[in-house]
Amino acid sequence: MNDNTHQLQPSRLWHYFQEICKIPRPSKKEEKIAAYLVDFAKTHLLDFKMDATGNVIIRKPAVPGYENRKGVILQSHMDMVCEKNSETVHDFSRDPILPWIDGEWVKARGTTLGADDGIGIAATLAILEATDIPHGPIEALFTVDEETGLTGAFALEPDQLQGRILINLDSEDEGQLFIGCAGGKDTVATLAFESVSVPSGHIALKANMTGLKGGHSGDDINKGLGNAVKLMNRFLWNAQHSFEIAVASFNAGNLRNAIAREAFALFTVPVENEKALLDYAVTFSREVHEELYITEPGLMFSIERAAIPEYVLDDALQSDILDALYTCPHGVIAMSREIPNFVESSTNLASIRMEDEKILITTSQRSSVESSKKDVADMVACVFYLIDAEVEQSQGYPGWKPNPDSEILRITIDSYRSLFNQEPKVLAIHAGLECGLVGAIYPGMDMVSFGPTIKGAHSPDERLDIKSTVKFWELTLDVLKNIPIQ
């Protein structure tokens, strides 16, 4: 780990986080981190298994005196969201993450940090390695592809896990204990790419939307952040109607579970309309800055001359796409009627991609109410049905119904009070957690989720709070020590 992060305490935890940062682990490409975990198990003479999907389970016996305690599953996911700033040169399939300390935070240089969920993996490995930490039998479950499909959790078999207490180490707000989460579903629209020659008398311009914060489409959906797809589309839609532009390419956003933070569009405009369009671009930039100056102070919008493209979109298709994106909802759809200040349902207009003669629009929906999740997903689908797009919806994943009478919740609350002389908050989360799937496969599994404070997850602004990481470590150890007798 570069800079002085190697000096952080507890040393075992940060040592393993350092190791994990060196290992490429994009979603669906977790082979290297899985091999590292298997080697770890072999080195420490621990029983392990890798299933056909790539999930790794490592088992450690109880330490002397704790053999009669209930078994605990420590669960985290191997993959990370791979996002970088446009000017950052980084190959997530090969290059290490480069963390550094900025005051109270650990950050990465121009990329996501991968503390989601690298810090959960690191804590688990430090516990598995230790000889001085009291605990009963432990199963460490490391799943694959949590970020893009929950593939690992979906593939779990009912006989793989022995314990009936699960601690999910994948939450991002220290002092908050999560006992429920939203379910999710993806809705993806595809259209055939129709193009025509560039109209005569046109010049080419490129529009750039950068500097937005982005963020987690669950945790951050209610924070009033800008969406680069929506903002760039708003500019193009108005420019189409007022200045007769012809769009050649429109690419914005990246991952289904991240709020779009960058957008780029190449288009042509009649030469006689160039000045008026550039004047409008100045007005548009001022307007969006005035609207979003509190939540998006770094927003940047610019226009520059570009080479004439080979083709542009057919007028009718261009109009359909821009109309649909303008109509497509993004953000909070409904707040919970049961839990104060809790988002019940939302949708994220995640990305648009124009490539391989197709236009691909990706959205994701979340809700803690299963019927509402389907309703919002169908609402989004209908937007794209109206322009004759091919629409596919994913299988989705279930939510996790809160159990306020949970034994592991009570233990964790007691530990938090004892350690920090504070009352933790017990909440449900609008983001998805693998607990919903685990609970469906293992009915009656007693679960809680907690973690250190991570801000800006799923964006290059991701940062891990150092002090909260110490508290997260201390809480995990104290909970393990207080697991009751079978």
Q: Please give the helix or strand (H or E) that residue 48 lies within, else none.
A: strand 47-50
How many whole angstroms separate alpha carbon 220 and alpha carbon 224? 8
Which amino acid, 112? T
How many whole angstroms separate alpha carbon 251 and alpha carbon 351? 7
Peptide bond into 10 cis (omega under 30): yes
Which amino acid, 290? E
Measuring CA to CA, how many Å separate 36 from each of 121, 122, 286, 397? 11, 12, 50, 28
The reply to whether 146 belongs to the active site is yes
Of residues 30, 83, 146, 465, which has the active-site annotation?
146
Cite the beta strand spans of 368-455 per DSSP E.
390-393, 425-429, 446-449, 454-455
Of residues 30, 79, 139, 462, which has the active-site annotation?
79
The reply to whether 461 belongs to the active site is no
Q: Degrees (nearest 5) of the Cα angle 222, 296, 174?
A: 50
108-118 burial string, b = 16+ CB within 10 Å, else e?
bbebbbbbbbb
How many whole angstroms separate alpha carbon 411 and alpha carbon 443? 20
Contacts of 317 (CB under 8 A, 6+ apart): 191, 194
Burial class (CB in 10 A: 0-12, 13-18, 19+), 361: buried
How many whole angstroms separate alpha carbon 140 and alpha carbon 75? 6
How many whole angstroms separate alpha carbon 232 and alpha carbon 483? 52
Contact by Cβ (8 Å): 174, 243: no
Which amino acid, 177? L
How many whole angstroms separate alpha carbon 417 and alpha carbon 398? 31
Question: Which residues are part of the catalytic machinery?
Answer: 79, 146
